[in-house]
A = this chain, B = another copy of it.
C-alpha cells in the first residue's frame, strides 16, 4: 500500500496501491470499498480475475437462504464487471505489459480511480482510467466511468456490460431468479426478490458512450442468460482517440423506508428506479460526482473537522481513512438498521451487529455526530422485542440482547453450530449466542454514554429508559445466588475474551451487570421525579415499582472481583489465575491472527492463561466513564498492574483489542507504547498485511482508531456530569484538532504540544474539566499544556 500519493488538496487523503497482484485482490477490494451506509460496493476491478470477490450489499436486506441457516446480508447482483476485449482478446492485467499502475481511493471525495498504461500482447499501447463512486448525494446511485485512449494505432475495443445476478454468498443463493428487461435498447433492469424475507430489489443501469468527447449513439447488442442481462458495445478507436464510457446504476429495494408501507407495489420500485436512473443519465458522471463530493464535504469533513499534524503523515491519513469508513459503514438514513462487524465490505459475519458497535464505534458518533448515534441506538430499541423473546426463551425476564443482531425483530441470529471440527468430525457448537451475555449491559452503557454526552432527554423518554429498565430486569433475573458465599454470581458465561468459554464471574460481565442494575435504579428515581407521566406508562408496562427494590438488593449482593491485595490484578474470572502459563512469544510475534490454533485446539486454549483480546482492560476503560467511577475508581496502580499482567497474555486475536490497549497504555503513561499500539490498530486494515481484510474490513477496529486518538491522545472522557479533557499528545504529533458535540454544543478542540484550545460555536458558558480542573468559559478557551504528572490521571 502507498500512503503518500495524495498531493496538494489531497495530501494525506489518498490510499493507493501501485502494483497489481491477482493473488492479493481481497485487500484492495475491502479496504477501498465504496458506500454510503445505504449500500456497500466492494471494489473488485472492472475486468474479472479468478480470485476476485464481487459484493454489493444493501443495509437491512436480510434474508435466510435456507431454513436451517441464520439470516444474512445477501450479495446483490453485480454491475461493476466489464468484459473488455481489445482486438478480440480478453483484456486483463495478467496479459500484456502494465506500466504506471495506480489505484487510489481518495477518501476526501470518496472516489476510487485506477489508471495505467497497458501494452497489449499484440503490442498496441493504451491508456486506461477507471473511476467510480457510490453517491452520498443520492444514496441509490452507483456511478462508474471508463476512459481508454489508443496511443499507438487503431484498435477494436468491445465490452459487455450489464447486470449479473449469478453471484452468491459463497455458493448460497438468496434470490429467486427474477426478471430481466431492457427498455429502449438502453435501460437495463433486473428485478429480484429474496427467497425468504421477500424483499424486492431493483437494479437499473445505463451507459453513456463518448468518443473524443462527443456522445455516440451506438446501438449495443442485447443479450440475456439465466440471472444475467447485458449489452455489448463494439467500437474502433483510431490512434490518439479516446473512448469514455459512463455506467450509471440505481438500486432500490422495498426495505427502503419510502417503499416499506402497506400501499407498496413492485411497479413503484421499478418506475421510481428507472426514473431516477434517467435523471442520473441526464446529469452524467461529472455532475453526479460534483454533488457527491459536495455532500462529503458538508456531511462529513466539515462536521468532524479532524486534523492531525504528525511527523508521520500516515497518522493523518489513517484517521481520515477511519472517518471515511465510519461514514460508509453506517446506515444513518434508517434507524431500523445497524452496523455489521465487517461493515458493508464482505460476507464475513453475515452483516450482523455485535457489541462492536456500542463499545467501539458508537462513541465516535455519540461525540461527533449524535443524530447518527441516536439512530443506531434506536435500532437497538427496535430490537427490544427480539431481546425480550430471547430472555423468555432462556428462562429470564426483561430484555436479553442478541449476541448477533440483524433485522431488529429477528432476535438472536448467532449461528447455533459452527464448522465441523475437521479432526474429530464433530460439529462445534457456537456458544456466544447463548452465554456471551455482556452485550446487554454494553448496550446500556452506550445509552448512558449517549445521554451523558448529548443530554437528549427526548431519546431517553421515548427509548432509552425503557431499554435500561428492561435490561436491568434481565440481569436481576440472571444473577445466581451462591448460598455458601451469600452473594450473587454470574456463572457459565463468555466474557470479551472468547478464548475462555463457560467461565464463572467474568469480571467484565459482573461489573457491567452491576452498572446496568445501578443505572436502572438511578433512572427509576430520576424518571419518577421528573416525568411522572412517562414513569407511570413504563411502570404499567414493565412493573418497575416491583422491580426497583430487587435491582438495588441484588446489585448490592453481586460479587465484584476486586483487585487482589498482593498484585492488584483483577481476576478475569474465577479460574483464570490458576490456569497453566505457557510461553506465548511465538504467537505474539506472528503476523496474522489465531496462530495459536495451529498448536492447540479450543479445548486446550480454554485451559491456558492466554487472552484473545482486552477483557479486564476494557472494563477499566469503560468503568471510569460511568458514575460508578466514584465507587470503583481503580487507581492508577490498579490500571498499570492489570495492563502489565494481561497485555503479555493477550494475543490481540480480535481486532477490537489494540485500540483499547492504546488508550490504556496512554493512561498509564506508556506513551511510546500507546503510539505504537495506535499505529498497529491503524494497520489492521490499512497496513501491509495483504490477506487480513479478505473477508471484509474490521469495523470495530476502525472505530478504535478514532477512539485511540480522541479518548487516548486527546484524553476526552466523561467525568461525572462533565466533559473532561486531559490530552497527552504523542511526541510525534504537533497538533490535532477535531469537533465534538457536548450537549448539542459543537466544540472544536485543538491540541498542540504547548496548548489546548476549545472553541464553542454558540454563546453561553461552557463548563469543562481540563487537566483535572474545572473551567468555565464562553466561546473559547486556550490553556497552555503543563508538564503532565501521572498523578493527574
- Contact in complex: B66, A177 (CB < 8 Å): yes
* Chain B residues within an 8 Å CB radius of A177: 66, 68-69, 172
Could you tell me if A226 and B166 are in contact, using CB atoms closer than 8 angstroms? no
Which residues of B sit under 8 angstroms from A124, Cβ to Cβ? none
Bound Cα distance A425, B222 (Å): 12
Beta-carbon contact of A170 and B166 below 8 Å: yes
- Chain A, range 161-179, C-beta contacts under 8 Å to B: 165-173, 176-177, 179
Min Cβ gap A66→B in Å is: 5
Q: Which of A181-189, A234-242, A251-259 contacts B (4 or more CB under 8 A)?
A: A181-189
List residues of chain B with CB within 8 A of the CB of A422.
180-182, 222-224, 229
What 0/1 pattern do residues 32 to 57 of A give for CB contact below 8 A with B?
00000000000000001110000000
Set B95, B179, B180, B226: member contacting A94, Cβ < 8 A? B95
Bound CA span A183–B180, Å: 45
> Is A420 an interface residue, CB under 8 A from the partner?
yes
A23: which B residues are within 8 A, CB to CB? 89-90
Contact assessment for A168 and B165 in the assembled complex, using a CB-CB cutoff below 8 Å: no
Shortest Cβ gap from A687 to chain B (Å): 21
Which of B22, B179, B182, B227 lies in contact with A172, CB distance below 8 A? B227
Q: Which residue of B is nearest A425, CB measured? A: B181
Q: How many copies does the complex hold?
A: 2
Inter-subunit contact A226/B172 (CB<8 Å): yes
Chain A 305-336, CB within 8 Å of chain B: the 1/0 string?
00000000000000000000000000000000
A765 CB, min distance to chain B CBs, angstroms: 58
Contact of A195 among B66, B170, B228 (CB under 8 A): B66
Whether A180 contacts B420 by the Cβ 8 Å rule is: yes
Interface size on A, residues (CB 8 A): 45
Name A's interface SS: loop
In whole angstroms, how far apart are the Cα atoms of A169 and B226 in the complex?
Answer: 9
Chain B nearest CB, measured from A161 CB (Å): 15
Q: Closest residue to A180 on the B side, CB-wise? A: B420
A66 touches B176 (CB 8 A): yes
Scoring A180, A224, A422 by chain B CB atoms within 10 A of each residue's CB, the highest score goes to A422
Task: Point out the residues of chain B lying under 8 angstroms from A172, CB to CB.
Answer: 173, 177, 226-227
Within 8 A of B (CB), among A246-286: none
For the complex, give the distance between the alpha carbons of A90 and B25 in Å: 14
Q: A541 at the A/B interface (Cβ < 8 Å)?
A: no
Check B420–A226 contact: CB distance below 8 A.
Answer: no
A225 lies within 8 A of chain B by Cβ: yes
Residues of B within 8 A of A223 (CB): 422
Besides A65-B173, A171-B226, A223-B422, 12 other CB < 8 A contacts? A48-B50, A50-B50, A94-B95, A166-B170, A168-B173, A172-B177, A182-B423, A183-B425, A222-B422, A224-B420, A224-B422, A229-B422
Binding site for B on A (CB under 8 A): 22-23, 48-50, 65-66, 68-69, 89-90, 94-95, 165-173, 176-177, 179-183, 185, 195, 222-229, 419-420, 422-423, 425, 427
The 4 A-B residue pairs with the shortest CB-CB distance, nearest first, are A166-B171, A173-B173, A170-B226, A171-B227
